[in-house]
């Protein structure tokens, strides 16, 4: 079976999951954090090498203040415990996104986690938090201008080195839960030739069966990358 090297997931539907059960939305975010392990274990089992999870977008700051602060508190509460749990599974964790708006407690925890897990090799887990594709592209351009990169030297490969995903293959498969059919500013440069899979399940409910369905669907896709024959440019 053809397995995607890089799976990116838009973890959507935490709020709806909670509301449907008569729970506060924040309980959905808690359940969402718990579900990361189940999905990650499953993807490791398939031999996926890189996983990128969209956890908080640059636009999510626009939610009601109590939801944003509640979400940050949940993270601050669980992040060290999660770091240890992921480390024990040999997962390498990296953050993708802006750092300047995170609390110092979260920033410290991010550095700690990245350092703790830097030599791990079962799977690379990227957490997109305060991430936005447009913001990422704009920051890359600003940095290139600061460095005086000559326009004639600029090609796609050079540009990609200025993105958070430097060194990572583009996502082969993007999964979105909660039935939505949009990218919501996720990996907009990197997803140029990604395959999509959406499921009606809310993120906290996403489990082995849906992952199996996504993998099966991916293995049957014919990727052409604009050419006429099915060819994978990565070989």
Residue 50: name the closest of 160, 168, 215, 217 by CA: 168
Which residue in 4, 6, 14, 187 binds ligand IPE (CB under 6 A)?
A: 14
C-alpha 87: how far from chain center: 18
Question: What's the burial of 92, exposed, middle or buried (CB within 10 Å: 0-12/13-18/19+)?
Answer: buried
Which residue in 43, 51, 144, 178 binds ligand IPE (CB under 6 A)?
A: 178
DSSP 110: H
User: In which residue are the tokens 């460095």 written?
Assistant: 147
Instruction: Give whichever of 4 and 132 is closer to ligand IPE, judged by the CB atom.
Output: 132
Record the tokens describing residue 222, joined without a space: 């014919």
Which residue in 4, 7, 8, 10 binds ligand IPE (CB under 6 A)?
A: 10
Which residue in 12, 27, 170, 172 binds ligand IPE (CB under 6 A)?
A: 12
Within 83-142, the residues that bind ligand IPE by CB under 6 A are none
The active-site residue, picked from 60, 120, 185, 205, is 60
- 60 classed as catalytic: yes
Within 49-88, the residues that bind ligand IPE by CB under 6 A are 54-57, 60
Residue 225: name the closest of 217, 234, 215 by CA: 234
**9 belongs to the binding site for Mg ion (CB under 5 A):** no
Phi, psi values for residue 16, rounded to 5°:
-65, -40
- 166 classed as catalytic: no
Measured distance CA(48)–CA(118) in Å, rounded: 18
Q: Are 181 and 208 in contact (CB under 8 A)?
A: no
Q: How far is the CB of 149 from ligand IPE (least distance, A)?
A: 31
Instruction: Give whichever of 54 and 162 is closer to Mg ion, judged by the CB atom.
Output: 54
Instruction: Give the DSSP H/E element, type plus range, for residue 85.
Output: helix 65-88
**12 belongs to the binding site for Mg ion (CB under 5 A):** yes
Q: How far is the CB of 70 from ligand IPE (least distance, A)?
A: 11
User: In which residue are the tokens 């399940």 written?
Assistant: 201
Instruction: Give whichever of 129 and 162 is closer to Mg ion, judged by the CB atom.
Output: 129
**16 belongs to the binding site for ligand IPE (CB under 6 A):** yes
Binding site for Mg ion (CB under 5 A): 12
What residues are annotated to the active site? 12, 60
Binding site for ligand IPE (CB under 6 A): 10-16, 54-57, 60, 178, 180, 182, 184
């Amino acid at each position: 079976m053809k397995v995607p090297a890089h799976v990116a997931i838009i973890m959507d539907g935490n709020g709806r999951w909670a509301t449907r059960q008569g729970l506060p939305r924040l309980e959905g975010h808690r359940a969402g954090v718990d579900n990361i392990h189940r999905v990650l274990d499953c993807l490791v089992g398939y031999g996926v090498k890189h996983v990128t999870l969209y956890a908080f977008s640059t636009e999510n700051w626009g939610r009601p203040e109590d939801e944003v602060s509640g979400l940050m508190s949940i993270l601050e509460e669980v992040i060290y415990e999660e770091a240890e749990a992921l480390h024990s599974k040999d997962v390498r964790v990296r953050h993708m996104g802006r750092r300047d708006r995170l609390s110092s407690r979260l920033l410290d925890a991010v550095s700690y986690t990245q350092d703790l897990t830097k030599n791990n090799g079962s799977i690379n887990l990227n957490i997109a938090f305060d991430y936005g594709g447009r913001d990422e592209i704009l920051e890359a351009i600003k940095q290139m201008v600061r460095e005086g990169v000559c326009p004639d030297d600029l090609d796609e490969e050079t540009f990609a080195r200025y993105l958070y995903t430097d060194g990572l293959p583009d996502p082969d498969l993007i999964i979105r839960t909660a039935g939505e059919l949009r990218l919501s500013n996720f990996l907009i440069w990197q997803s140029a030739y990604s395959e999509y899979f959406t499921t009606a399940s809310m993120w906290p409910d996403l489990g082995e069966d849906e992952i199996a369905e996504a993998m099966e669907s991916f293995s049957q896709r014919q990727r052409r990358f604009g050419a006429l024959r099915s060819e994978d440019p990565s070989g």
